[in-house]
Structure 1
Amino acid sequence: MAVYFSIFLVIITSITGVVWLADKFYLAAQRQLKLVDAQAQCKEALSDDVIANLVEPSVFVDTSVQIFPVIAFVLILRSFLWEPFQIPSGSMMPTLLDGDFILVNKFNYGLRDPVARNKFFEVGLPERGDVIVFKYPRDPQIDYIKRVIGLPGDRIIYRNKSIYIKPACQESDVKCPDFEQVVNTFKKDNESPDGSYGLSRYTADMPNKTHDILMDNQILPRTQHYYQQNNTQRDEFLVPEGHYYVMGDNRDNSLDGRFWGFVPEENLVGEAVAIWMSFDFDRDEDSFLPKWIPTNVRFSRLGGIN
């Protein structure tokens, strides 16, 4: 849907832009010449109604001229700077909840054209711990949001609900790094953010970022369903060059890289940086209101994303 909207936005901007240019540099001047010619043919001054009829553009031209700056601004903003998204599920709890509306910074990871999404200006790349929006590799029409766990060349092990990261060896390294565990510290405040039962909350200490996660200790590892690579253990992942390994913060309720692999760099949309609105949709089953009508605004959730 987002791809179709981008194509539609580009088409409308192009059409209205062409009309705007044509009116500015040709059509407006032609209307003025028509007015001068009509005035020369009449001995008396033309009435205001006649003048207005001669110089005013058609409805199509006038509408295009009026909306082009607005549409162009929206296209630039949405394609190269910021794009709003709604969180549709709980796979990123407790960081993001169903009903959160977020802003995604599209500039951080380079500028891409809004249709083919080819990068034409390099800015930066994701870091471990970033919350990113990307095109789901198995269906690029769908936008996913997860947290970056592994960078290109990293080895990742997810074993006994713990993450072990072995960063890629750099030429500047005297000795290649070994596996380092991401320590999960149990939080006494054990209530999950949506009131669900059975989820334990932990603080995960990533190499350069700390964030909260949820785990269901009743769910056993599903390694038999993990994405399998050659020459790796069942719960081990070697991140290919130009790819990223991602996981949801709601560890046992997330369809992420453990099950389908890696995110190609060209699938990146941007970094989720802020929650600008958050609605609660919880209501009794006997409520007469439709489920899409919010029951509350969660002002306490507004702000930056860790």
Structure 2
Amino acid sequence: MMSALTAVLYGALLVYGAGWWLGYWIGNFSLLLFVLTVVTLAYWLAERFKFAPARVAAAEALTAQDTQRRAELGKMGISQVDGNVDSARERLLMQPWWLDWTAGLFPVILAVFLLRSFLFEPFKIPSGSMVPTLLVGDLILVNKFHYGVRLPVINTKIIQNNDPKRGDVIVFRYPVDTRVDYIKRVVAIPGDEVTYTNQQLAINGQLAPVQPQGDFYDEDSMRYAPRFTEKLGAVAHGILVDPKRASIYRPMESFVNFRDNCRYTAEGVSCKVPAGHYFVMGDNRDNSQDSRYWGFVPDENIVGRAFMVWMNFGNLRRIGSFD
């Protein structure tokens, strides 16, 4: 019965994972990890308080029966008795496969769940919107507690920590579809007046300082683009901006919340950042769908602060922290 139930659960997990991999639906890894933790915990408790004691009791009963049998034969003068209960006892004590692959995995799954939910979470950069800071294929780590501690799955903040600052690179749940995670740079915080016109960024009427750094070869688009160093607060970081490339800014239909806080012109866009929200942009300014198009990031959507590349299998020199 339990082996069949476990097989069904593993089958459901396989179907869910395959559909996710093939793109039939968007998976929720946080929810999946939570469910796996709960299910393996149930098996672990059942093993600890029911199945393991039952196996031990059966093994002890077998040993007692063998001892009694040998004693009775001894009274009859038979001292040489065939049979050894040790192998049978070992088989009785052996954990079945369906417990080995559930209760046995609980400590590992619990450790991963706690680490990923409250400390650090890995992400893979899927697009070139953050070039030159982050490249396609970079595997990054995100600090989950820098902006406060949130309950997993429901994303409710229970402990306040730092507030996002201008220049921070953050991972957040895409406001248009919260099943998808995005990564961008915070350029404006609540109360700021942010303007991006003629490919120049200004915060509260002050242009963000930029310095040209020559051309950058963008492997994603396979072309060179002008690279600059931009300074937001204390953070100096690279951006790609092509002054010769015309950009047209229009709000997406999904830009609903606080839409009246933004004004669009032929030169660009200007927005007043509402309380509890942030204005984010990609460092690859001409190749990024960001707050200029779909609006502000609510604080409750923030996953954490990205701070380092822990691996890039195509370029090991990418490993390290970034601004």
- In the superposition, the TM-score normalised over structure 2's length comes to 0.79
Local SS of the residue matching 2:108: helix
The whole-number CA distance in structure 2 between the counterparts of 1:140 and 1:209 is 28
1:256 to 2:290 alignment: yes
Which of 138, 142, 145 is the matching residue for 1:100? 138
The whole-number CA distance in structure 2 between the counterparts of 1:74 and 1:229 is 39
Q: CA contact under 8 A between 1:198 and 1:216: conserved in structure 2?
A: no
- Structure 1: 5+ residue stretches without partners: 167-178, 280-296
Aligned residues: 276
1:298 to 2:322 alignment: no
- 1:79 deviates by 1.6
The whole-number CA distance in structure 1 between the counterparts of 2:106 and 2:176 is 36
- 1:231 deviates by 6.3
1:218 to 2:244 alignment: yes
- Equivalent positions of 1:91-130 (< 5 A) are 91-130=129-168
- 1:40 deviates by 2.5
Q: Which amino acid aligns with 2:34?
A: V
- Structure 2: 5+ residue stretches without partners: 1-19, 21-25, 71-82
Local SS of the residue matching 2:312: strand
1:181 to 2:174 alignment: no
Q: Match of 1:170? A: none
Are residues 152 and 29 of structure 1, via their aligned partners in 2, closer, same or farther at CA, if it must alter by over 3 Å? same
Q: CA contact under 8 A between 1:39 and 1:46: conserved in structure 2?
A: no
Q: CA contact under 8 A between 1:229 and 1:237: conserved in structure 2?
A: no
- 1:5 deviates by 2.2
The whole-number CA distance in structure 2 between the counterparts of 1:107 and 1:251 is 28
1:266 to 2:304 alignment: no
- 1:46 deviates by 5.3
Q: Which amino acid aligns with 1:192?
A: Y
Are residues 191 and 32 of structure 1, via their aligned partners in 2, closer, same or farther at CA, if it must alter by over 3 Å? closer
Q: Match of 1:9? A: 33
- 1:225 deviates by 4.5
Q: Which amino acid aligns with 1:250?
A: N
The whole-number CA distance in structure 2 between the counterparts of 1:224 and 1:36 is 76
The whole-number CA distance in structure 1 between the counterparts of 2:195 and 2:224 is 25
- 1:33 deviates by 2.1
- Equivalent positions of 1:50-199 (< 5 A) are 50-166=88-204, 179-187=205-213, 189-194=214-219, 196-199=222-225
The structure where helix makes up a greater share of residues is 2
Q: Which amino acid aligns with 1:305?
A: F
Q: Match of 1:230? A: 260
Task: Render the CA deviation track for 1:48-94: whole Å, top value 9, x for unaligned.
Answer: 12111222232222332321111111111222211211111111110
- 1:152 deviates by 1.1
Please tell me whether Structure 1 or Structure 2 has the larger radius of gyration of its CA atoms: 2
Q: CA contact under 8 A between 2:62 and 2:89: conserved in structure 1?
A: no
Local SS of the residue matching 1:93: coil
Q: Which amino acid aligns with 2:304?
A: G
The whole-number CA distance in structure 2 between the counterparts of 1:224 and 1:99 is 30
The whole-number CA distance in structure 2 between the counterparts of 1:232 and 1:12 is 43
- 1:102 deviates by 1.0
Local SS of the residue matching 1:191: strand
The whole-number CA distance in structure 2 between the counterparts of 1:26 and 1:124 is 46
Local SS of the residue matching 2:246: coil
The whole-number CA distance in structure 2 between the counterparts of 1:116 and 1:264 is 15
